[in-house]
């Protein structure tokens, strides 16, 4: 166990962990929103995220982005990427609700059927994305592995440079962008849910769907709204992922989705601020674990931490649902 | 006629809970629907507000057939229910709960005026406006449920068991306010197990027994009816 490295560069590892966790947190919001209202774990949400990375890749390709564009162009491409990912991910999430989940609700399907459907949708989307990827890339970008399950690199939009250096801890420009954009997106969502009329409708359905209807809330519209909101957050995460890591693959969602779901559960599923806390916590734990042991162990440690937290706090760190969340 | 139920049938699975109920509520009235546990009072309320689908018959409100209208759309037509067990949104503040009542409305000036009106009727709610709904006492929650329903500015206020689980003094207070709301021009349909209070306040009443209406009359008539006395007022 490499304690010297961990404590010698503790600040640096903390910065790395927070910027990693911010992406988990953004994806976790999608799980938590849907769970908070429908008590459904939407396992296909991981693919909603992957669709976003494909949209970023597709949009950047279509608009002919080169490696390391100038500052003005970079901002333009960030914006194009955000719009493409938000539309693609939000649209996919909405389509899942309309095509798969709503018909099941109409038939009063038991919870297990929803769960199996979610897992099935996830698998279907992975395969569709796998078929789509070669066409989308069209040979423009180098594939790093064989044709199936290929990893496709994206052009670098922002070159990583240290932005601030304090002692031997440096925060890169990319880390700062990822962390603060994620925080901004979450703050906007939090404001929307807690301060607006539509947000109040969402909380009403989460707390008591029948009474919400008695107050004139259209439940189907609220459900569509939460799927779109979760999708847009996943789209934003997809853009940040593309900026930070610069690659995608059709099966990218499996481990990442599992991590984001873990983050949601860690923080208290159904709780928006819990998703933030859980994501950042998980990011930190992973980076610390990778430093202490080796990066091969980070997933093991992440899930061990989840199990330990749930043993002592079965409802997660913050542990209140979206329904119960304070005003 | 503001509300008319015409031979309404409701079934849970194959079991019929309401066997063809017909009743009406005229503008300006307080109408009480009394009956024992399981007689179908709450089912009737749920059918009127649209939470429960009809198996047969029709419901007309202000001249419109609303039998197949979705529950959330009935609120905009002027029907609002204070449900059984109050069903306050526990995680929302008192103010947010009241705002939920005005969910379908867009006239912010009118909403603000109605908020003042509700705070006038229930000063306790004004004191606790920033408090979470789930932390209120039973009586306060009932006031909040009634206030919340009033915030939709309903033509017809549906009250399901407002006295449930409350102390006699609080019950009287709630019914006083129901009378006052009615005098201010809101029509009220009231479902109650507390037949004494309900009938003494109501213009007219219906007695429901195992999914059928077995008696109707003015509040006073029913209050003095020997059979009603024996079954519902605890007087031999």
B91–A217 CB contact, under 8 Å: no
Give the distance from residue B210's alpha carbon to the nearest chain A alpha carbon, in angstroms: 25
pLDDT in tens, A284-308: 999 999 999 888 888 888 889 889 9
Cβ(B208)–Cβ(B40) below 8 Å: yes
Q: Are B39 and B45 in contact (CB under 8 A)?
A: no
Q: Which of A7-11, A141-145, A209-213, B48-52 has the lowest mean pLDDT?
A: A141-145
pLDDT of the residue at A325: 46
What mean pLDDT is predicted for residues B74-80? 96
d(CA B160, CA B146): 10
A25 touches A279 (CB < 8 A): yes
Bin B35: left if φ > 0, else alpha if -120 < ψ < 50, else beta. left
User: What is chain B's mean pLDDT, rounded?
Assistant: 94
In this complex, do A327 and B99 lie within 8 Å of one another by their Cβ atoms? Answer: no
| Cβ-nearest to B132 among A203, A323, A326 | A326
Q: Considering only alpha carbons, which residue of chain A is nearest residue B158? A: A214
Per-residue pLDDT at A326: 42
Q: In which element (H, E) is residue B160 found?
A: strand B156-160
ipTM for the whole complex:
0.93
Residue range A84-115, pLDDT digits in tens = 999 999 999 999 999 999 999 999 999 999 99
**Residue A214 near residue B70 (C-beta atoms within 8 A):** no
The pair phi, psi for residue B160, each rounded to 5°, is -105, 110
Separation between Cα atoms, residue B204 and residue B103, nearest integer Å: 31
**Of chain B residues 37-66, which have a CB less than 8 A from chain A?**
49-51
Candidate from B87, B92, B152 with C-beta closest to A216: B152
Residues of chain A in contact with residue B92, where contact means CB-CB under 8 angstroms, are: 200, 203-204, 207, 327
Residue A323 has what pLDDT?
52
Contact B80 A214 (CB under 8 A): yes
- Residues 137-196 in B contacting A (C-alpha not used; CB under 8 Å): 148, 152
Rounded Cα distance, B132 and B147, in Å: 15
* Segment B65-92 mean pLDDT: 95
pLDDT digits (tens, 9 = 90+) for B6-16: 999 999 888 88
Domain ranges of chain A: 3-157+166-312
The closest CB to that of A214, out of B51, B90, B93, belongs to B51
Give A36 to chain B, closest Cα distance, Å: 13
- Residues of A within 8 A of B101 (CB-CB) are 215
Residue pairs spanning A and B at CB distance below 8 A: 76
Q: Cα(A87)–Cα(A15) distance, rounded to whole angstroms? A: 30
What is the secondary structure of A75-114 as a DSSP string? HHHHHHHHHHHHHHHHHHHHHHIIIIIHHHHHTT--HHHH
Closest-CA residue of A relative to B157 is A214
Residue A321's pLDDT band (cuts 50, 70, 90): low
Q: Does A270 touch chain B (CB under 8 A)?
A: no
SS3 content of chain B, % helix, strand, coil (to 5): 40, 30, 35
What is the rounded average pLDDT of the residues A20-26? 96
In the prediction, which pLDDT does A315 show?
86
Judged by phi (left if over 0) then psi (alpha if -120 to 50, else beta), residue A318 lies in: alpha
Query: In the numeric block, which tokens belong to residue B60?
Result: 């007309």
DSSP-assigned letter for residue A66: P
Burial A27-65 (b: 16+ CB within 10 A, else e): bbbbbbbbbbbbebbbbbbbbbbbbbbbbbbbbbbeeeb
For the record, the structure tokens of B218 come out as 């003015």
Average pLDDT rounded to a whole number, residues A130-146: 63
d(C-alpha A125, C-alpha A132), whole Å: 10
Of A259, A246, A66, nearest in space to A144 by CA? A246
CA distance A195 to chain B (A): 10
Q: Is A98 on the interface with B (CB under 8 A)?
A: no
Average pLDDT over residues A17-45: 95
Contact A327 B132 (CB under 8 A): yes
pLDDT (tens digit per residue) in B13-46: 888 899 999 999 999 999 999 998 889 999 999 9
Residue B14 CB burial class (10 angstroms; 0-12, 13-18, ≥19): exposed
Q: Which of A309-313, B159-163, B171-175 has the lowest mean pLDDT?
A: A309-313
Q: Do A200 and B93 touch (CB under 8 A)?
A: no
Among A79, A66, A13, A25, which Cα is nearest to A49's?
A25
Tell me how close the Cα of B63 comes to any Cα of chain A, in angstroms. Answer: 20
Distance, in Å, from the CA atom of A20 to the CA atom of A1, rounded to the nearest integer, reads 22
Which chain A residues are closer than 8 Å to B47 by Cβ? none
Report the pLDDT value the prediction gives residue A8, as an integer from 0 to 100: 82
Q: Residues near B225 by Cβ (< 8 Å), separated by ≥ 6?
A: B215, B217
- State whether residue A210 sits within 8 Å of chain B by CB: yes
Distance CA A132, CA A207 (A): 40
DSSP element (H, E) containing B69: none
Tokens of A28: 């976790």
In chain A, % helix, strand, coil (3-state, to 5) comes to 70, 5, 25
Query: How many CB atoms are located within 10 Å of the residue A311 CB?
Result: 8
Record the pTM.
Answer: 0.91
Dist CA B21 CA A204 (whole Å) = 32
CB contact under 8 A, A212 and B93: no
In this complex, the residue of B76, B96, B101 whose CB is nearest that of residue A327 is: B96
Burial A245-273 (b: 16+ CB within 10 A, else e): bbebbbbbbbebbebbbbbbbbbbbbbbb
Backbone angles phi, psi at A259, to 5 degrees: -65, -45
CA of A302: how far to CAs of A261, A311, B39, B69, in Å? 12, 14, 56, 50
Q: How far apart are CA A150 and CA A142, in angstroms?
A: 10
Phi and psi of A70, rounded to 5°?
-65, 170
Mean per-residue pLDDT for A208-234? 97
Mark yes or no for CB contact A327/B103 under 8 Å.
no
CATH level 3 topology of A3-157+166-312:
ABC transporter involved in vitamin B12 uptake, BtuC (1.10.3470)
Q: How many CB atoms lie within 10 A of CB B157?
A: 23
Inter-residue contact A179 to A168 (CB < 8 Å): no
Structure tokens at B182: 């009615």
Among B76, B83, B93, the residue with its CB nearest the CB of A327 is B93
- In angstroms, the CA B122 to CA B97 distance is 14
């Amino acid at each position: 166990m490499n304690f010297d490295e961990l404590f010698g560069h503790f600040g640096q590892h903390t910065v790395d962990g927070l910027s990693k966790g911010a992406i988990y947190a953004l994806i976790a919001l999608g799980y938590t929103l849907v769970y908070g209202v429908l008590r459904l774990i939407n396992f296909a949400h991981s693919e909603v995220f992957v669709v976003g990375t494909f949209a970023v890749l597709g949009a950047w390709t279509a608009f002919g982005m080169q490696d390391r564009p100038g500052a003005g162009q970079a901002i333009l491409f960030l914006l194009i990427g955000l719009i493409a990912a938000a539309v693609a991910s939000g649209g996919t999430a909405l389509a899942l609700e309309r095509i798969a989940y709503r018909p099941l609700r109409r038939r009063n399907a038991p919870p297990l059927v929803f769960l199996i459907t979610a897992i099935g949708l996830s698998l279907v989307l992975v395969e569709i994305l796998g078929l789509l990827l070669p066409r989308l890339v069209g040979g423009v970008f180098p594939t790093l592995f064989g044709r199936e399950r290929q990893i496709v690199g994206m052009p670098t939009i922002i070159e990583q440079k240290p932005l601030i250096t304090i002692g031997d801890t440096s925060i890169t420009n990319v880390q700062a962008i990822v962390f603060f954009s994620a925080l901004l997106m979450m703050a906007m969502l939090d404001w929307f849910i807690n301060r607006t009329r539509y947000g109040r409708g969402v909380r009403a359905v989460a707390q008591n769907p029948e009474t919400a209807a008695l107050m004139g809330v259209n439940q189907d519209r609220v459900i569509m709204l939460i799927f779109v909101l979760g999708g847009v957050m996943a789209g934003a995460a997809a853009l940040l992922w593309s900026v930070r890591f610069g690659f995608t693959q059709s099966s990218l969602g499996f481990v990442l989705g599992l991590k984001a779901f873990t983050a949601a559960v860690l923080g208290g599923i159904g709780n928006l601020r819990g998703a933030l806390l859980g994501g950042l916590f998980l990011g930190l734990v992973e980076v610390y674990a990778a430093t202490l042991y080796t990066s091969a162990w980070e997933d093991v440690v992440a899930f061990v931490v989840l199990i330990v937290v749930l043993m002592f706090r079965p409802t997660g760190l913050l542990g209140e649902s979206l329904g119960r969340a304070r005003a | 006629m503001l509300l008319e139920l015409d031979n309404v049938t409701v079934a849970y699975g194959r079991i019929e809970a309401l066997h063809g109920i017909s009743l009406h509520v005229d503008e300006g009235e307080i109408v009480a629907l009394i009956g024992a546990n399981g007689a179908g009072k709450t089912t009737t309320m749920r059918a009127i507000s649209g939470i429960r689908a009809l198996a047969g018959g029709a419901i007309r409100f202000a001249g419109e057939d609303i039998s197949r209208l979705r529950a959330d759309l009935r609120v905009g037509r002027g029907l609002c229910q204070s449900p059984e067990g109050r069903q306050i949104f526990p995680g929302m503040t008192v103010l947010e709960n009241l705002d939920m009542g005005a969910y379908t409305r867009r006239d912010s000036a009118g909403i603000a005026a109605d908020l003042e009106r509700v705070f006038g009727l229930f000063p306790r709610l004004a004191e606790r406006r920033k408090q979470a709904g789930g932390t209120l006492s039973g009586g306060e929650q009932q006031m909040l449920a009634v206030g919340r329903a009033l915030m939709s500015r309903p033509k017809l206020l549906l009250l399901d068991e407002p006295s449930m689980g409350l102390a006699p003094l609080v019950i009287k207070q709630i019914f006083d306010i129901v009378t006052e709301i009615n005098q201010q021009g809101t029509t009220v349909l009231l479902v109650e197990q507390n037949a004494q209070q309900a009938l003494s306040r109501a213009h007219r009443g219906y007695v429901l027994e195992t999914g059928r209406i077995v008696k109707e009359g003015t509040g006073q008539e029913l209050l003095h009816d020997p059979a009603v006395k024996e079954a519902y007022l605890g007087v031999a």
